[in-house]
Copies of this chain bind each other. A is one copy, B any other.
Amino acid sequence: MRLIWDDLRTVLMLVRHQTLAGAADALEVNYTTVARRVRRAESTLGQILFERLADGYQPTEIAKVVASHAEKMETSEFDLRRYLQGADSALTGTFTITAPQLLISSFLAPVLDDFDQAYPNIELRVLATNDILDLTRLEADLAIRISRNPGDTLKGLRLLKQETASFASPRLADHIRSHPTDMIDWIVYDTFPNVPKGTSPMFPNNRVRFRFDDMVAMLGAAQAGLGVLRVPLFLGRTTSGLEIVPVLPPQPYSDIWVVGHPDVWPSKKAQAFREVLIAHSKRSRSIFTSQAD
């Protein structure tokens, strides 16, 4: 019995995605190819691996066992690729980072510019997402994250401390300052559905007016004067049409970290990127806290 390793990988992907098209996307092949590889695997194993149903391929118990072993193989592949990435001393090729969308324009854009100037032969790929990408699976080489915790197995470096404050449109800000005891409307994030704690006693009347699940939309609502917003200082300060209001005094917030997998961390490209990143962080420290205000 001579198993084809790439057929095992194909079975793994089909078990994960349950449809030929899904597995084919993951493998970057035509879905017909997935179907044929699976048929071939079934015939060499002498076992039926999937039930062909109208809504996809349903894995049998045996297929799940096959997939679990293929998953171990995949882990070894990722281990290898991370090793190679870490050992790579070239300042050429591609380099992938990920960061929350809102950090890009206000903070990261100059870093990308500096890096591209300094290392024109490195093709920088930026994944702007709030999803926590899996650095173990090399979804990115480095991640910039807003979190006190760099993650379990990841190496991390704290770039910046930061604080939050309350922001509002200039009109609303004026009104609040001149009528501090009026009811103040808040725009809050879905996951923190109440008025932030720690509001100043000078502004005793607060209520939630809107809840959003998207920060960009919240900023838009605040720009339109719909309410007061609690955001990191850098974000409020770099968003036009917003100014700080003293309703909520500056409070410490999760720090900004650059994190990476220990295997990949020592690579020349990662080193280079961190240098540029740290230099820029030092320069822009004042945007993130009220200290230097």
Q: Which residues from chain A sit less than 8 Å from chain B, CB to CB? A: 1-6, 8-9, 28, 45-47, 62, 65-66, 69-70, 72-73, 76-77, 79-81, 83-84, 87, 90, 93
Contact B6 A4 (CB under 8 A): yes
Q: In the complex, are the beta carbons of B73 and A3 less than 8 A apart?
A: no
Minimal beta-carbon separation of A36 from chain B (angstroms): 16
**Given A4-B6, A5-B9, A76 contacting B72 (CB threshold 8 A):** yes
Q: Are B84 and A80 neighbours in the complex by a CB distance under 8 Å?
A: no
CA distance A76 to B66 in the complex (A): 10
Count the copies: 2
Q: Determine if B3 and A81 form an interchain contact, defined as CB atoms under 8 angstroms apart.
A: yes
Describe A's contact surface by its main secondary structure.
Answer: helix
CB distance from A96 to the nearest CB of B (A): 11
Smallest CB separation, A288 vs chain B (Å): 35
Complex CA–CA separation, A47 to B87 (angstroms): 11
Task: List the B side residues contacting A72 at CB < 8 Å.
Answer: 72-73, 76, 79
With known contacts A28-B2, A73-B73, A80–B93 Cβ distance under 8 A: no
User: In the complex, are the beta carbons of A77 and B6 less than 8 A apart?
Assistant: no
Known: A76-B69, A77-B3. Contact between A84 and B45, CB under 8 A?
yes
With both beta carbons as reference points, the residue of chain B lying nearest to A73 in the complex is identified as: B73
Complex alpha-carbon distance, A62 and B86, angstroms = 12
Q: Are B76 and A76 in contact (CB under 8 A)?
A: yes
Which residues from chain B contact A6 at a C-beta distance below 8 Å? 4-6
| Seed contacts A4-B6, A6-B6, A69-B80; 5 additional CB < 8 Å A-B pairs | A3-B81, A5-B6, A45-B84, A46-B90, A72-B73
